[in-house]
Structures are given as C-alpha cells and as structure tokens.
Chain A
Amino acid sequence: MEECVIMESRTLFYSSIEMIDKKELKELQLKRLRETVQILYDKNLYFGKKLRQAKVKPSDIIKLDDLSKIPFTTKDDLRVNYPTKLVNVGLDQVVRFHVSSGTTGDPTVVAYTESDIDRWSELNARCLAMMGVKRGDIIQIAYGYGLFTGGLGIHYGAERLGISIIPSSAGNTKRQIKLIRDMHATVLACTPSYALYIAETAIQEGLEPKKDLNLRVGVFGAEPWSESVRKRLIDQICPEPYDIYGLSELCGPGVAAECHYRNGLHVWADNFIPEIIDPKTGEVLEPGEEGELVFTTINKEAMPLLRYRTRDVSRMDFDTCSCGRTHPRILRIRGRSDDMMKIRGVNVFPSQIEYVLQRMDELGDQYQIVLTKLGPLDDLKVKVEVKPSAVSDKPWEMVGLKKRVEDEIRSVLNLNLEVDLVEPGSLPRSEGKAKRVLDLRGQA
C-alpha cells in the first residue's frame, strides 16, 4: 500500500525511451554500434588500426553478438594516447575536457562535444528522476567540481530536471551541514562514505541528522557500497539512498542508477552496451554470471570507446524491472578487480568485509583493511571503530565482540582474519572516495 502511494507521488520517468520495447532497444543499439564502429574505423588512427589488426571490418557487425569480435579498450589505451590523440572530432568542436588523476601513471583525458554534454545531462536527469527527485527539490551536490566528473555531471542532470542546486562541492563538512540545514536541502549527492561522515559530524555538533536535516533522497556513488551501508545511510541521514554509477572514461556519473525498487542499477542501454566478461580469458559470460563489466559507448561524438574494460566486478540482469524500465540492470558492483585481494588463495573484495562489518550494530562506520606480508604470503587485518554503545566495563565481553566479528568474516569469506577494535575517530576520514585499504606489503 505504502509502495503505491510512493509511486504516485513520483516523477517516475524523464523520458519515454526508458520503457522502450526491448526489441526496438536492440535494433537501436545495433544501429548505433555500427555507426560507432564505422566512424572509428574511418577516422580514428589508433582504433582504426586496432580494428584492422583484429581483422574486423564495420561490415562484420551484423548482429549485436558480433560485438565480441571487437578488441577491448583499456585504461592503457587512454594513457598511451594522452592527452588528446583519441579525440575523434576536430579539437575546435570539443567544449570540455575532464581529467582523471589516475592512481598510477599518467592521467587520462576525456573530451566532450556540445552534444556529448547535452546527452550526459539527460542521462543524469533520467537517473535523478528515477530516484524520485522532482521539481521543488533542492539538491546539495557535495561531489568535487572540476577535473573530476562527479560534481558537474550530477549538476547538469539537476539543472535539466529544473530543480534548485546548491553546488557546495566536496569538503568543509561543517559548512555542508549548515547549508543542508539552512537551505532545507532535500537531496544530497556525494560518496556514501562522505554522507556517513557528514552524519557523524552533525551528531558531534549536537544535531540529530534525521530530524534536524530535511534530506529525503541520497545520490550516492563514485565508490562501491553494500546493503549494510544502505541500512546505515537510512538510519543516519536520509530515508532513500540510491546508488549511481559511472566512469569518467565513459562520461562520468549517469551511466547507471537505481530506481526505487533498488534491485540493481539500470544501465542506459540506448547509450551504452554493457557486457560481462571473464577477466582472465576475455570471454563473454552468460547473463547472471559474475565477471568484469565492459561498456561500449554508442552515442558519443568526441571520444567513443569500444568495449572499455572497467575493472568493476558485477553481474547483469536483463529482465524487465518492476518499475517498467526495459534497460538492463547491473547488480551492485562487488568491487574493482584491481581491489580484489588474494589472501591465502581466497579472493576477497573490500566490499565483502564492509558488508559484514556494517551490519553489526556495535561497530562504527569507519574501517580499514590493512594488507601486510606474512613471510611470502599476503596477510590481511581489519581495523574497525567501535561505537560507545558497544563498550562494556568487562574487557572479556569486548574480546567476545572481536571474536564475533572474526567469526562472521570467517563464515562469509571463509577466511581467518584478525580484527582490531579501535577507538572512534582514530581512522582517517575522507571527503571524496574513501580509502579503505592500506597496503603495507612494500614495507617489510
């Protein structure tokens, strides 16, 4: 019953294309894919050569499955073509460059034409509308503005929807709280870890974030997060936190997002063709199987990318969602394949550890995974902050808590890990993407 009421009060759709017939969607994808391949084959020195080397001609793309004949694009392709060698239009047609710092090596540059910015804005407008954001809402955008795509991407979407924007950008947490409060912001866009930090800071200032702030919807992305974090976000800062996904290489935020059914993130398949591959062999996996997400952009001018490997690990669901959207869903990102740690032969993602930690009420929001070397083997230790409510005057009871966390991790990950309970406030906080893994393996 409540669900129906919520539905009626929502602007559910920004565009009718969100419910496009599946067959039509496939035809549109094929048409746009063929155009994209043709244009890169003809005009792009680098990709044209790559296609020729792989002996793929545009005329070989007859059906969507033929996509698998095309070679992958990786971050390295972007790096070696730094800064603008992959731009597929005249530089005078480029209206924007975004640059991602790249944690290792050269930065990567992504270019946009006017129409690229326009389409990007629409995708973000679709995402926001899908989350129930509508005219009359006030959104505070606490993603970084600038070279990073997060701030501007959401900004354009909000502008397109016609809602009021507070472009606070990242940082200055106390001012963020003051603005959310004074301006009665109803939507907060930032990383989920920063949202929790905002809540923590508000509580320290004597506020009750859920009562004193008027936030309804959270647009939380730029890092993978788990269902137990969702529960915390609901408990602490806003009743409707949604996941939004994107990659600067593809455009930035707005590639996919959750609808209010929250059963995966709808990928805007009229703009991107998603695939799941086996990261080792490169083979395309069956629907539902877990593997690396790969995207082909089929509606971009300045820098189309064929089969771009995201390193993000997920699964796809192609069934029509209860919300009526026909665009397929990527299930929650389990983590980046780069983040995957191999501990004593077991694959571990930080998000799995997070899932265990954040569903235990005695533990705080902050944790850190410390990678060390134990002889020739990698070892892993988890530090997690305790909540005041967990403190017992009997230390053996707290040792019991530590053991319970360790047992819980063992049952979920099948791995014996040491857990350290640490004081609240002792782990580093972040205003952008949280740094959850501390790698000390180099320091023996």
Chain B
Amino acid sequence: MAVTQISVFVENKPGRFAEISTRLERAKVKTLAFCIADAGDFGIIRLVVNRPELATKALKGFAESSIHVIATSITKKFSVSKIAVLLRSKKINIDYAYTSTKPIGGNPTLILRVDDIARTEKALKEKGAKVLVQEDLS
C-alpha cells in the first residue's frame, strides 16, 4: 500500500530543480506532489509521481532514494486539521507533510511522512478516509 516518494539530493545552486523537472517532463513523468527541504549547502527534493520507475531512470546520475509515504485525500469530512487530530489521537507522529500540486481523483491530496505506515493507514481507513495507492496516481 501507500505511495512511493523519491528523494533527490541536490546542491544548493541555481538550476538544480529546473534540471530535475525538465528531465521528468521529457520522460513524460507527471509530478503530482513535491516539496523542497533545504539544509544549507544542499537540499532534498521530494517527489511523488505517477511512474516512479520511469522517474528514477530519468534522474540517472543523481543521488536519490525511494521510500513509502501516505497519500490521503483532503475532503470536507477529512480536512487537514481533522486528519492531524485523528493521528494525534493514535499518537502517530508526523515527520513532515505536503500537499499535491493538483487534485488527485477529484481531491487535493495530503502527503504524510510517518514512521509507522501500516498503523497510520489503518487509523485513517477505520474512520473512512481515502488512502491512495500508487495505482491511483497513474
């Protein structure tokens, strides 16, 4: 379950994000959500895309790695704060979160990085929230 997030190591200098997004575009990979985490001289670009294998190929030469993250639809019933409160009630810590650049399956989507993916997924699903899988992104 869950979806793949690609993390790319980049030096903090002009043009690195342009290089990455151009390469993905050329490989016809759709970027659905991204966020740039800066750490001074370098940063990590986190990407959720429709075709992770294709993206990894397109980013050949970059130092990158993949992990699983939770993608959950933001709806009237499950607003960002509702989701946060829900996770707090289960004592699930959020390392970081960001949102999609466009609606996925009709809804904006919250990307969550948590330690225990299975427990988070269970908590969300129990209350009826929609948790996306990689196939939902293609």
Please give, as numbers and ranges, the residues of chain B lying within 8 Å of A425 by CB-CB distance.
61
Inter-subunit contact A388/B64 (CB<8 Å)? yes
The reply to whether the CB of B9 lies closer than 8 angstroms to some CB of chain A is yes
* Contact with A421, one of B9, B62, B95 (Cβ below 8 angstroms): B9
Question: Which of B5, B39, B96 has the most C-beta atoms of chain A within 10 angstroms of its own C-beta?
Answer: B39
The reply to whether the CB of B43 lies closer than 8 angstroms to some CB of chain A is yes
Known: A421-B9, A423-B9, A423-B10. A395 touches B42 (CB 8 A): yes
Please give, as numbers and ranges, the residues of chain B lying within 8 Å of A385 by CB-CB distance.
63
Q: How far is the CA of A36 from the CA of B41 in the complex (A)?
A: 58
Inter-subunit contact B37/A423 (CB<8 Å)? no
Inter-subunit contact B44/A395 (CB<8 Å)? yes
**CB-nearest residue of chain A relative to B41?**
A420
The reply to whether the CB of B121 lies closer than 8 angstroms to some CB of chain A is no
**CB-nearest residue of chain A relative to B95?**
A394
Q: How far is the CA of A420 from the CA of B13 in the complex (A)?
A: 13
How many chain B residues touch the partner (CB < 8 A)? Answer: 25
How many chain A residues touch the partner (CB < 8 A)? Answer: 22
Inter-subunit contact B63/A386 (CB<8 Å)? yes
Q: How far is the CA of A4 from the CA of B46 in the complex (A)?
A: 53
Inter-subunit contact A393/B62 (CB<8 Å)? no
The reply to whether the CB of A392 lies closer than 8 angstroms to some CB of chain B is yes
Inter-subunit contact B113/A393 (CB<8 Å)? yes
Inter-subunit contact B39/A395 (CB<8 Å)? yes
In the assembled complex, how far is the CB of residue B54 from the closest CB belonging to chain A, in whole angstroms?
Answer: 17
Q: How far is the CA of A391 from the CA of B10 in the complex (A)?
A: 10
Inter-subunit contact B44/A399 (CB<8 Å)? no
Known: A393-B5, A394-B95, A395-B37. A421 touches B42 (CB 8 A): yes
Inter-subunit contact A386/B11 (CB<8 Å)? no
Known: A391-B7, A393-B46. A423 touches B39 (CB 8 A): no
Please give, as numbers and ranges, the residues of chain B lying within 8 Å of A420 by CB-CB distance.
41
Q: How far is the CA of A423 from the CA of B60 in the complex (A)?
A: 12
Inter-subunit contact A396/B39 (CB<8 Å)? yes
Which chain A residues (390-424) contact chain B, with CB distance < 8 Å?
390-396, 398-399, 420-424
Please give, as numbers and ranges, the residues of chain A lying within 8 Å of B113 by CB-CB distance.
393
Please give, as numbers and ranges, the residues of chain B lying within 8 Å of A281 by CB-CB distance.
none
Q: How far is the CA of A391 from the CA of B38 in the complex (A)?
A: 14
Inter-subunit contact A424/B39 (CB<8 Å)? no
Which chain B residues (58-92) contact chain A, with CB distance < 8 Å?
60-65, 67
Could you tell me which B residues sit within 8 Å of A by CB distance? 5, 7-11, 37-44, 46, 60-65, 67, 95-96, 113
**Top 10 A-B residue pairs of the complex, sorted by shortest distance between their CB atoms:** A395-B39, A393-B7, A391-B65, A388-B63, A391-B9, A395-B37, A395-B44, A391-B63, A386-B63, A424-B63
